[in-house]
Amino acid sequence: MLIRRSVLVCGAGPLADEVESAMRRGPRRVERIYDGARLAAGRGRWAAVLLAGRLDVDAVAPALAVLRERRRPPRVLALGTALHPPPLPASDDTDAPPAASIDLERRAARMLLHRWPLHLGADPAFGQDIHVVIAGAGALARALLPQVLRVAHYSERPPTVTVLDEDAAVREHDFSRDYPQAHRFSRLRFRPPREAALSGEAPVTGVFVCDGDARKGTESALRLRDRIAEEQGASPPILLDIGNAVATGELADWDGQIIPVAWRRMVLSQQALLDDHDDDLARVIHAHYRDTTAAQGRDPSAEPAGRPWETLAEPYRDANRHQADHLLAKLAVTDCRAVPEELVESFAFAPTEIERLAIIEHARWAADRYLAGWRYAPQRDNARKHHPQLIPYDALSGPMKDLDRFAVRLVPALLARSGLGIVRMLIVAVRGPGPGEGRLRGLSDQVLARLRARYPDRGLIIASDLEDAASRAFARRALEHFGAGLFLLSTRPLQAQLAAQASADARMELLALAARAERRIDVDGVEGLARWMAARAEILVELGTAGRGGVPAGQPRKRVHVDPDRGADWNFEY
């Protein structure tokens, strides 16, 4: 899409004003008209026309028909929210709908869970279940709940979602009316904020605070942070909705957990709305479906689900989006990550991984069907939304299980069509205490360079509680100079860990690393840390003399002992 082609915002009222203001923060030139009747008379070279706010849709429809006849017709997007639905003109032409309808809160929910996935605060491969808390009654909170339920499947066990709302009974009634099948695949709890007990529940792994008011939301987030720490000893990431505000403050002011999210600025940007990267993988999934249908000798365009993306009905687009949204979960479960395709040669899941992921894929598919209003019945009936495969994976026939297995085997190919490859993580646990940064740097670089040379096709992950200066220095060198990722292992609530730091500089160092961690995993004290390292890490790097408990007996472990006086001692070939 060329920058010289401008963006036209059409409509009146606060939402249209907000859309115009947001568009003017991007590189493309922006024009604005308030009366839809003037649209057909416009002669601008528009890359996109955005319909928002108050608009005479009957006057807009003929104008859009004229625009579609241009050699380079603009994209037309009708933007709306729960309070102000998209002004979508009617059309009898099913092959060329007049405008794509975008619910901004639903789009924001997808973007939030892609940027901060649910496994950010959990390790499902270690048996940790997903438990999400959604606090608040705003439109974003309502959009987040079904999206969380779609992507929260990391195992056979149902995810837990706790919804905190002052009118919890009304909220539960409304949600059960809209999604009566949700209880079949999830553990849902609707509670007033002061009555929700968290002790005895699975540890909270993520929190969304959506009060719609930055000050009120901050107070709610702080209360939840302290309550979860007291009742569960956990410190999950807390995403705080600040609407259209601009987050300010310094790293020293941060508590390490509360992440302010200006979701309206995030979704109302030229890049998010016009570059369409949000749907790239969904388009690839749909294109593969069309190719497969054609290879079977059928015309994909003759089927409602096989039309080209530009004319595909929204329910079918959503099915592709939901499949795409869950790919991050599948990679997390198998300790894999997506990287640019040129960095890897080939990839295939192991048979045991395929079976595990097939079980999860079936759970995801069933959740998506249930949320769309389908029910189990022995015979399929699309009109009545009846489906015979809405049963547990173990009860499926062999051919039906093969469909889920095929969907899993397809993941590397789908990512490859998007220019991405898959690498397995190399999880390296690091623990001190050890020498200071100055004495350790040379040896750290030596160890990291040798690991890189020994495992060139793996994605290096440093896993540590970062309790001591040596571990923090090692992690920082790995992130800044060796392209590593970081898992922060918390043996106690993060606030207690920050308070225990010996100096302001040490606290800042810990905060800076916490901000860069791609996982924040709560473990049960020092013993839980040892169990995690024994079960999940492939290599253990010990810095200096061991002093915080050993690794459980009977667990094989590749180890590197780093001592500035003796060098690096490896107990395996590197």
At residue 545, the pLDDT reads: 58
Predicted confidence band of residue 465 (pLDDT cuts 50, 70, 90): very high
pLDDT at 509 over 50: yes
- Residue 119, domain CATH: 3.40.50.720
The C-alpha atoms of residue 562 and residue 431 are separated, in whole angstroms, by 10
At residue 548, the pLDDT reads: 44
At residue 69, the pLDDT reads: 79
* Whether residues 168 and 222 fall in one domain: yes
Tens digit of each residue's pLDDT (9 = 90 or more) over 217-263 = 999 999 999 999 999 999 999 999 998 778 788 898 899 999 999 99
Whether 545 maps to a domain, the answer reads: yes
Whether 237 maps to a domain, the answer reads: yes
Whether 261 maps to a domain, the answer reads: yes
Number of domains in the chain: 4
Helix (H, G, I), strand (E, B) or coil at 47: strand
198 touches 227 (CB < 8 A):
yes
The C-alpha atoms of residue 309 and residue 149 are separated, in whole angstroms, by 25
pTM of structure: 0.92
At residue 345, the pLDDT reads: 80
At residue 190, the pLDDT reads: 95
- β-bridge mates for residue 167, sequence order: none
Q: What percent of the chain has pLDDT over 70?
A: 93
- Of 398, 417, 436, which residue constitutes the final position of a domain? 417
The domain containing residue 22 runs over which residues?
Answer: 6-98
Which class for 164: exposed (0-12), middle (13-18), buried (19 or more C-beta within 10 A)?
buried
pLDDT at 556 over 50: no
Tens digit of each residue's pLDDT (9 = 90 or more) over 391-413 = 999 999 999 999 999 999 999 99
- β-bridge mates for residue 346, sequence order: none
Whether 319 maps to a domain, the answer reads: no
Predicted confidence band of residue 71 (pLDDT cuts 50, 70, 90): confident
Whether 47 maps to a domain, the answer reads: yes
Tens digit of each residue's pLDDT (9 = 90 or more) over 468-490 = 999 999 999 999 999 999 999 99
Closest CA to 360 of 34, 119, 199: 119
What type of residue is 30? V
pLDDT at 94 over 60: no
Question: In terms of C-beta distances under 8 Å and separation of at least 24 residues, what long-range contacts does 194-200 make, across chains too?
Answer: 196/162, 196/164, 197/231, 198/162, 198/227, 198/228, 198/231, 198/232, 199/231, 199/232
> Which among 45-59, 96-110, 389-403 has the top mean pLDDT?
389-403
What type of residue is 479? L
- Of 384, 417, 450, which residue constitutes the final position of a domain? 417
Residues 6+ apart with CB under 8 A from 357: 330, 333, 334, 349, 408
* Whether residues 82 and 117 fall in one domain: no
Predicted confidence band of residue 555 (pLDDT cuts 50, 70, 90): low
* Whether residues 211 and 136 fall in one domain: yes
**Complete edge-to-edge strand list for the sheet that includes strand 238-241:** 187-191, 160-164, 131-135, 206-209, 238-241, 258-261
At residue 2, the pLDDT reads: 39
Cis peptide before 433 (omega within 30 of 0): yes
Tens digit of each residue's pLDDT (9 = 90 or more) over 298-309 = 999 998 889 998
At residue 186, the pLDDT reads: 95
At residue 92, the pLDDT reads: 59
pLDDT at 562 over 70: yes
At residue 47, the pLDDT reads: 87
* Whether residues 257 and 112 fall in one domain: yes
| Structure-block tokens of residue 127 | 């048996």
pLDDT at 37 over 70: no
